[in-house]
Amino acid sequence: MTKFINLHTHKFSNLSDVIEVVNQYPWEFDTNIPNYSIGIHPWFIDESRLEKDLEIIKEKLQLSECLALGECGLDKRIEIPMELQISVFKKQLEIVQQTNKPIVLHCVAAFDEVIAIKKEMKIINPMLIHGFSKNEQVAKSLFENGFYLSFGKYLLRNKELEKVFKFAPENQVLLETDTIEESIYEVYEKAASIKGISVEEMKTIVFTNFSRIFS
């Protein structure tokens, strides 16, 4: 049976028909979660524990239950200096480059920077922008640069995004709930209706992409 994939969520729901990549932080780690990503979110950079956090990330990325690095990335709408954000982001990328694991990205108004870092560091690990909410032009640039886009909250909330999702290449999309109240099933229903296909077909598309990315 093809399972539903929830690429990024902050709450573990333990549903038998869903594979969830639960977001974890090094400083509040829950050992009961079977599949997770781990990273330093730009909002929560704390220099006093940075080395310790990076050590934990390195250790967890060696484990099979740790599916990805993240969420990590860049955010231009917060107070934390961009220079520090970039430095912490790059340190995490250096760690994940020693594995073949994907990277779940938080990116706010810093897409050009993220694309540039991918090129500069020659990153071949799959890079996934979670919670995508931007226009077609931004999406196109990301797709052309080999990124995957994960849709969820804004697909349910923003009519404009439907156009982007409709034209998104099927082999570069994923679905998620992040922190919304709605279920992953509702996200799939919405996504399938935009693409004009059945929920089963949508499941197959996302499951195929997930299997390839998280080989």
**Domain ranges for the chain:** 4-213
Q: How far is CA 211 from CA 47, 52, 102, 171, in A?
A: 35, 31, 12, 11
For residue 126, CA distances in Å to 11, 63, 97, 212 come to 23, 18, 10, 10
- Beta strands in the chain, from DSSP E residues, in sequence order: 4-9, 18-24, 36-38, 66-75, 103-108, 127-129, 148-151, 173-175
Q: If DSSP codes are grouped into helix, strand and coil, which group holds residue 66?
A: strand
- This prediction's pTM: 0.97
| Average pLDDT of the residues in 45-72 | 98
Q: pLDDT (tens digit, 9 = 90+) per residue, 128-181?
A: 999 999 999 999 999 999 999 999 999 999 999 999 999 999 999 999 999 999
CB 177 within 8 A of CB 7: no
Q: Are 140 and 167 in contact (CB under 8 A)?
A: no
pLDDT in tens, 68-113: 999 999 999 999 999 999 999 999 999 999 999 999 999 999 999 9
Q: Which residues pair with 158 in a beta bridge?
A: none
4-213: CATH, from 3.10.20.740, 3.20.20.140, 3.30.413.10, 3.40.50.700: 3.20.20.140
Tokens standing for 86? 């970039």
Strands (E), 54-158: 66-75, 103-108, 127-129, 148-151
Residue 1 pLDDT: 83
Question: What was the pLDDT predicted at 22?
Answer: 98
